[in-house]
Amino acid sequence: MIAISRIHAYMNKLPNDIKTFTSEVYEFCPDVIDQGYSFMEEMISDYNESKDFWLWWD
């Protein structure tokens, strides 16, 4: 059995309120910043540039 602990998704259009969206992603999956991005602003910048996001649990 293979366990997958990461979801990666592309956004055709960014949310109107990217800060609220980013906060909700962090609330749902704290590892995004705790073990991924260094801080919220880095996460927002990446979302704006790449238009994708990921969720990761270990």
pLDDT tens figures, 2-54 = 667 888 999 999 999 999 999 999 999 998 988 889 999 999 999 999 999 88
- pLDDT of 39 reads 92
Please answer whether residues 32 and 56 qualify as being in contact, where contact means their C-beta atoms are separated by less than 8 angstroms: yes
- pLDDT of 56 reads 81
C-alpha to C-alpha distance for 25 and 23, rounded to whole angstroms: 5
**Per this entry, what is the length of the chain?**
58
- pLDDT of 23 reads 95
* 58: its two tokens: 């270990």
- pLDDT of 40 reads 93
